[in-house]
Amino acid sequence: AQSVAQPEDQVNVAEGNPLTVKCTYSVSGNPYLFWYVQYPNRGLQFLLKYITGDNLVKGSYGFEAEFNKSQTSFHLKKPSALVSDSALYFCAVRDGGATNKLIFGTGTLLAVQP
C-alpha cells in the first residue's frame, strides 16, 4: 500500500535561513510526488511535483524539492525563508502504476521567525 510520512509536526527557522521540510514515501510502482501549502482556513495550493526526469524540481514561491529514490525521500527546500512562508505544508504521493488516489502526509507546520 502506498503511504507518505512527514516526520516533523513543526519546523522552526529564522527568516533568511534555509529551510527543509522532510517527506518520505512508500509505493509499489513509480512514485508521483507533490508538495502543497495551506494557509489557515484555506484550501491547499500546489507548489511543485515530481513525475519523472531531473531529481531537483523547482516550484512556486522559490521552493524546490529533491527526489531521492534510494532514500525514498522528497524533501522540500528553500534557500532563504520568509515570514510569509509560515504555513502548513503537505507532501503527497500517487502510485503511478496501481491507483489514481493521491495520499497525503499529516502535514508539517512551518514557523518562520522574523
Partner 1 sequence: DGGITQSPKYLFRKEGQNVTLSCEQNLNHDAMYWYRQDPGQGLRLIYYSQIVNDFQKGDIAEGYSVSREKKESFPLTVTSAQKNPTAFYLCASSKTLTGELFFGEGSRLTVL
> Shortest distance, CB of residue 49 to partner 1, whole angstroms?
6
Least distance in Å: CB of 77 to partner 1? 19
Nearer to partner 1, 48 or 112 (CB): 48
Angle at 60 between CA 54 and CA 17, to 5 degrees: 90
Name the residue nearer to partner 1 (CB basis): 20 or 104: 104
Footprint on this chain of partner 1 (rule: CB under 8 A): 9, 32, 34, 36, 41-46, 49, 51, 90, 94, 96, 100-107
Distance between CA atoms of residues 92 and 6, nearest Å = 10
- From residue 113, alpha-carbon distances to 12, 21, 37 in Å are 7, 16, 18
The residue among 2 and 19 lying less far from partner 1, judged by its C-beta, is: 2
Smallest gap from Cβ 58 to partner 1, in A, equals 15
Task: Note whether 50 and 65 are within 8 A (CB).
Answer: yes
Q: Compare residues 46 and 61 and give the one whose CB is closer to partner 1.
A: 46
